[in-house]
Each structure stands twice: as structure tokens, then as C-alpha cells.
Structure 1
């Protein structure tokens, strides 16, 4: 079977393990992962308290694991040039930049006070440290690093002294310069092991994570134009607090996988519609499934023109080294409702204001006509009326847009209802068929019971016959013994006569 066909035969919105040929890499968690040219790259991680330094590659076409043998860049001036192996690292981030994999932060032996950016060149198989400048963040682990164009947004984490962070830094990949962003309004509480995503090029979303005593399920939003934090109202399914989860975006859908609270893992795969801020549960796995783990990774990849999710590793009482794949169901992308222009975003408020205005001033079109027929005083009444008319027209236009959206949503729901009705009809037919089979099986069981009863009666009669046969055999045996005795006595008598006669003859 072709690889593309194997992927396309997967059920929508369901995780499935990928069959692996040959050896698997060591199980781990808190590693970093990304996909390049249909190959899944896994770097570092932790297992049994020990950090790992290997680089593993899983070919998504051959289903075979291999290990990269890296060498230090001999022309580099950094201290890593003297190292023969890539530093063992855990709790870091990895971002693809050209033909290089950039590894940001994390905990490794001999970490400096400042955050280190390392690289792996997947063409030359060389590694090294990238020299950065500017307002370099402190060394940390469990932070989030989100790529936006040619910039990386770094948020939160825990420094080497276990101090929790909630500041925002930006790394310009063009010049490798760090800047610290000054934000306004209330930021998220300091945290680590959270998830982050970007909506477009403007909004940074932060979800979940934990402090040293609290696990979070809150969602925060940072407007990158105004640098203003907010905590928007969320709709949809209730999500449980978690840390160590992984997230990946496909269009305006943000998929959240795994995580936990140190006592149990989170078995549900969540989806946040980022334009509407609505949570929904995509699928649920078993409680002890590798996908219900902390410290796992999730990536997306394009295979045969279709996007898939890939998950690897994690820990939930047991370390995992399995690769899972999910084929997301295509989802409609309606026009955003909360991240629109200021006029559209304030449509509801405008409608409310218009209603209050009409109630207080008793403004209707007949009054407008009467007023228009009167000469204006200093031009103000006419000007005010014109403004009010334009306001009402704008509100009408916005209401029509909202009605169009509602109709589109109703059409979509109607299609889903029709699909559910068709499924219900098919299930009803299948149920009737199964009920018919049950009736036939019951009739067959009744017939078998009747035959069994007849056989039992026959066996009882055969037992009686057997007893009669045994009695006849005993009678026959007794008769045979009597006949044998009689025959033996006759032979003995005859023999004695012949012996006597013979003796006399001598």
C-alpha cells in the first residue's frame, strides 16, 4: 500500500499509531520536535532525570527511525566547538529557520545565566551556538517560543533559580537581536510549561501552564500592535487545568494535546476556534494513553496535499517513544467575529445605543420628515438629523452583515443536522436488521432446545434398554457357566471309563 493511501484511509479526528519498521529511539519527554521535508526531527529531552543529547529522525514515508551524527562547527568561535556531541538539553523550544533548526533555551549542563540559542544545520550536520545581542533574556526552561514572520516571541518559563517568569521578549532572526517588550494591562500570572500560538500576525495567545502550586486553564491574549494584555471571554466546552501540553495551529484552529496536573493526564484533544474563541473537544483517548501525557510534542505536516497532526513522546507514569498521527476534519472558516474592525466589533454596542436613542428622543421617520420640512436654526438640527440618519444606516448595514453570518451559520448547522439524520436513518436500518437476526436466532434456539429435549428422552430410553441388555448378558453368562459345568462333568465321567477299560486291556 502506498504511504499516501495509508494516511488518507485514516478516520477523521482520531489518533492512530504509525507502524514503525526497525528500532525505535529511547522514550522521553520535554524534548523538541519539528517536521522538515516529511521527516520528523526529535532533539533532546529527558528520561529518568537524565537529559538527552541525541537527534532522532523519523521518515514519514518509510516509517523508519534514524539517528543524526552531528559534529561541531570547526569555524565557530563559541565554546560548543570544543564539544564532540550536541549538549544534552531538556525543556527547550525548536524552530525551523531555513536549513537550520534553532534551539532556544532549555536546561543543559553548564548553562549560562543568559538564554542560549543553538543551531543544527540539517544539510551539513553541524551544530553550534548563535551569538545574539540586545536585551538577552535570562536562561530559562519551560518557556514558549512562537515564530511570527522573521521574529520569535518568547514568553514565560522558569529560570535556573526556579523563579517564574511572565515577561515577553522578541528575537529578530534577521539580525539576531533581542528586545524586551513593555506591555500594558494585567499580564498572565508567571508560569511555565504552557502553550502559545499566533492568530495572524497580531495576536499572541497563551493557554494553561502552571506555577509551583497552581495549574491554569486560562486564556490570555496580547495585541502586538497596542502591546495590551486581555483575558477574553471564552465559550464552548469547559477545559481542565493543565501543564506540559502541546499545541499546533492549522489555519484558525488551535489544537491542544495532552498535559496534566502531576496526578493525572488530560485525555482529551482540544480545539480552540481562535477567531471566535470557542473551545471544543475533538477526541478523547484512554487515561493511561501516551497521548494523555505531559511533555509530549505535536507538529503538523503536509502529506499528499492534506495536513496531518503528529504527536511523539511524553510521560504519564511511563515514558513513550511512539508516533501518533491524526487526520483533522476540514473545518469551515467563517469571517472572524471578535477580531474585526472597530466598527464591526462594536456593532452590538451601536445597536444598543440606537435603541436607547430612539426611546429617549422618540425618533422616527415621520418626525424626521416633519423636521426636514422646517427651516433649520443655525443649521444644527439638520446637521444632527443627518448624522443620526447616517448612524442608523451604518447600524442597519452592520445588522445585515450579522444576519448574513447567522444565516450562513444556520445553513451550516442545517447541513450537519441533515448529515446526522442520514446517519440516524442508516443506524435505524442496521438496528432493524440486527433485531431481525436476533428473532431468527431465538427461533433457532427454540428448535435446538426441542431437539435437545428429544435427545434427552431418547438417552433415557436407551439407558433402560442398556440395563435390560446388561440383565440379559448376566442371564446368558449364568446359562453359559451351567452349560460349561455340565459339559465338564460329562467329559470327566467318560474319561474315567476309557482309562479303566484301557487299564484292563493291559
Structure 2
């Protein structure tokens, strides 16, 4: 039975793998960041209809010359072509009216442009974004995977849109499951508090709702995982503040006015209780990898050359799981592992470029044949950077859909 693309979850900064409390206690104190985020005035909600929102996209004035480049592509690290001209006539500029936010620069078609490099930066002309030049890195073979650090600007910019309704309380180690254009947020915690509430965020209307649920509601928990299959959201594992869990619940969401939780009685040998693992829906099977149990011990999987991980991310790309970063029981790593879902064997491939520093509790999203990695925590620092892993020759993997997991 076909299912939507599996949603991987990644838990935010939480517990150090050396913590001794068996129920995933609160994480070490992290210095607070700047929470005073200024809302982008270019994002507005129409007051004429309070039940819906109208988003006005910001207008970006592109550079006035044709010599542009894509800073998110490794290609900009090579020799960039320089504009040429046979004339040395000066630029002719139109005076900027007072209060203008987008000065218009008119450049003669015969104007010569000179670029001056100072250290790792180049001069930015009027109308151009400020983009520091990336440090040089060794070239990589064309078919190889490649790390790049993204500088967010122009079309890659962060914004904090205004939302409607009551959002969930501040929490971490919750799960977020994408179903069509809605995010289903479940559980999580804040310090000693653990939650089992369900919130829904509509990405079209930017509206938060807290639907009423009934039935056998899961206990309060965090560090669990969720998956969407056959009109149901499945919840597995986590910790409730006292112990680690390995129970399974499902919530059918066909009728949003009648949401009933059900605890499943499973057969076979279940995984031991754990949290900070990952789970991926592959066909009609849920693949659970890594994590830690109530004794902070590792689970040995019957795979040759078993690799230990927690607080990592696992993203399905065709017939592979891409395991990115996480803690290996000794340190935080930036390693990329590939689990072949057909042979159930690990594969290690060389990755070029500049990788992110070792970290866990980050998030990884597959989009347009690239893996976008954001944020994370390494036991000392909280990150807000963005990295992209270009899959290159592995980009065809999402087209591989005709395969089956081996029987165990």
C-alpha cells in the first residue's frame, strides 16, 4: 500500500549521552540565545478576513549586472568569469529619492566592472547582497557527494511569520509529522515537564489548533518518533520522566472531529525501550535505528559492522537510509553513513567539501536531490548554521521505489 514520503524526526538538544537518569532528564543548561526575533515587516496578514492570512512576498531587487552566481553551489568556488569591455566610461547613476528603500543603479552597457578581493570578502556594489567569499576547498570528482555551508540571503532567507491560534508551549524532543499541508505536533517536554498533547499547524493559513482526542491516550513522553501510514499517525518509544518506553500507539486522522487514540498489541520481538532513536517508514514497515535505553546502553543490531548512534537523523533516499551526524557513544560526529535497505549492510562513501562540525539534535530535510542540515548541539554550543549535502550521483536514488526489505 502506497504511503506518503516518510517523515523523519530529529530531536532538539536534550540529554547528554552520559546522563545517568534513566528517563531522559533535562539537558545541561544552555546559555539563552537572542529570542527577540523581529518579525519581517514584509510579511503581513490581511485584516479584512481574520479567518485566513494573506502573505505578501518580499520584493528582491536583483543585481543590475549579468555576472551573477549561485553561492549555494560548489561551482562558485572555481574561477568565476570576469566581465570584460573595451570602454572605460564611468558609471552613470540616477540620484536616489529620499526615503527610497531600493536604490536603482543604472550602469552603462559599456562599463567595465572591477572586482577587488580583500581577504575572504569582495567589494559589494550598490544593489548587490553582501556575500562573503567562501574559503577555498580542494576540488571534488563530479559524481561525488559534496558538503557546502549555505549563507542565507535573497531567496534563502529566514522569516518569522505571524500565526493565528494558540501554539503549543515551549518544548523540545517532541515529534512533528507532516500530513499534506499540516504539521501534527505531539509530546515533548520542558525541563521536568512532559507532555502528551496534540497540536496541529496548518501551513496554508498559518493557524494553530489543539483538537480534542479520546481513547487510550499515550502517556506523557519525549524523545519518541512518529510516522504517518494509511491515514494514521504511529507513535513509538521515548521516555516519560521515569523510564524509557517501547510501546506503540496509533491515531487515525481521517475525521479531525473524531480523533481516537489506540494502543497496539504487537507481535514478534519488539525493540528494547529507547529514546533519541530514529524511525523511517519503508513501504509498510517501520525501521527503527539507534537510540539509548533506560541504562544508557547501546543496542547491538544484527548488522555486520554495527554503528552506534543517537541524536542523529535518518533520511530515506530511495533504497538507502542516510544517517547524518549524531553521537557515536564517544563523541559527536559529522559522519555520513548509508544503510542499504536491500542488503541491510552499511556503506561508507567519501564525501567532499567542508562538512559541518560534529553535532546531534539537528534536523535534516531532503529537497531537490540535496540534504539540508540545520542547527544542532555538540554538548557545548548550540548551532544556527545551514549546510547542504549535494547527493550528486546518488541523486537518482529517490527514483528507486521497487524494492523490499528482507524478512527477519
> Offset at 1:128?
2.5
1:314 aligns with: 376
Distance in 1 of aligned mates of 2:406 and 2:174: 31
> Offset at 1:300?
0.9
The 3 A distance-change label for structure 1 pair 158 and 86 is: closer
Distance in 1 of aligned mates of 2:405 and 2:183: 35
Distance in 1 of aligned mates of 2:179 and 2:404: 33
- Give matches, 1:21-420, under 5 Å: 21=153, 62-72=155-165, 81=166, 86-108=168-190, 115-159=196-240, 161-175=241-255, 176-200=259-283, 202-216=284-298, 218-219=300-301, 233-235=302-304, 238-260=305-327, 263-283=330-350, 290-302=356-368, 307-316=369-378, 317-328=380-391, 329-330=393-394, 333=400, 336=403, 339=406
> Offset at 1:261?
5.0
Checking the alignment, whether the CA contact within 8 Å between 2:181 and 2:203 is kept in structure 1 is: yes
> Offset at 1:105?
1.2
> Offset at 1:154?
1.1
> Offset at 1:182?
1.1
Structure with the bigger percentage of helix: 1
Q: So what's the TM-score if we normalise by structure 1?
A: 0.48
Checking the alignment, whether the CA contact within 8 Å between 1:119 and 1:128 is kept in structure 2 is: yes
Structure of greater relative contact order (alpha carbons < 8 Å, 6+ residues apart): 2
2:32 aligns with: none
Checking the alignment, whether the CA contact within 8 Å between 1:268 and 1:283 is kept in structure 2 is: no
Which runs of no fewer than 5 residues in structure 1 stay unpaired?
Answer: 22-60, 73-80, 220-232, 346-506
Q: Secondary structure at the match of 2:383?
A: coil
The 3 A distance-change label for structure 1 pair 165 and 284 is: farther
Distance in 1 of aligned mates of 2:402 and 2:338: 18
- 1:145-173 deviation line (CA, Å, top 9, x unaligned): 112242222111001x3321001111212
Q: Secondary structure at the match of 1:130?
A: coil
> Offset at 1:106?
0.8
> Offset at 1:283?
4.5
> Offset at 1:69?
2.3
> Offset at 1:210?
0.5
> Offset at 1:126?
2.1
Distance in 1 of aligned mates of 2:282 and 2:404: 13
> Offset at 1:243?
1.1
2:110 aligns with: none
Checking the alignment, whether the CA contact within 8 Å between 2:148 and 2:355 is kept in structure 1 is: no
> Offset at 1:68?
2.3
> Offset at 1:133?
2.2
Q: CA RMSD in A?
A: 3.2
Checking the alignment, whether the CA contact within 8 Å between 1:268 and 1:285 is kept in structure 2 is: no
